[in-house]
Amino acid sequence: MRRVLFLFLLLTASAWGATEARPVILMVHGAWGGAWQFSRIEPFLRDAGFEVRRVTLTGLGERSHLADANIGLETHIEDVLNVIRFERLDHVILLGHSYGGMVITGVADRMPARIARLVYLDAMLPESGESAFAAMGADQAQALAAKAEGGFIPAWWVRPEKPYPRDTPHPLRTLEDKLILTGAGRDVPGLYVLTTEDLAHPERDDFYPASQRAAQRGYVVITIGGDHNVYWRQPEATALALAAALRSP
């Protein structure tokens, strides 16, 4: 069934590409991550008819040599805004994973005219005045803050001998900063993709409250099976689910 759906998407992508430009998906990773995390899903999204751009936020991934304790949430929002400006992108499908939901929400508020759709992939969906720590809840926030060292939260699960690419320490301030919104991005259509390993009880998932908030805003909400990093562990299935949801009326 998956192969039939993929063939259908390929055919519709070919027909689409013959008449208009391929839609652009601009992908924003989560905490500790980098653009490298989307390398597995990118070819499947391209096969489905999308142009893919991947951003690495300042101080992370291949830009970890720029790590500084003063990097805040606004720095990461500007990272994405500048990709849109300098690449002259328009009608962007802006996707954020996990902490990346904080970033794309800020981007849509600053530059709503350039954003065609927001996609929250198991991501935070903040209100104005909320920080990432507030979005994740007091217990988890306190546990993470307790691990901070020198203004960074280390990727404690990464062994020193692990080869690249790998997760890198995340600037603490980006999780503490409150996101202040003007409301300009509230009319940008949204899609929320909740990933859960327990499809029978999605309400037990950490990101279920964010998916409920998305539904209250009028966003399309879909649920797919898998862990938090489905774009890495299930790239083809995730690309198919995204493509189908983005192409549906």
Q: Which residues are catalytic?
A: 98
Question: What are 15's two structure tokens?
Answer: 């027909």
Spacing of C-alpha 242 from chain mean position: 12
Q: Which among 111, 98, 88, 96 has a CA at the least distance from the CA of 181?
A: 111
Q: Which among 98, 3, 16 has a CA at the least distance from the CA of 51?
A: 16
- Residue 174 is given by DSSP the state H
Contacts of 229 (CB under 8 A, 6+ apart): 37
* Type of residue found at 53: R
Which phi and psi angles does 216 have, rounded to 5°? -65, -30
Q: How far apart are CA 107 and CA 92, in angstroms?
A: 11
Q: Which among 248, 247, 246 has a CA at the least distance from the CA of 121?
A: 246
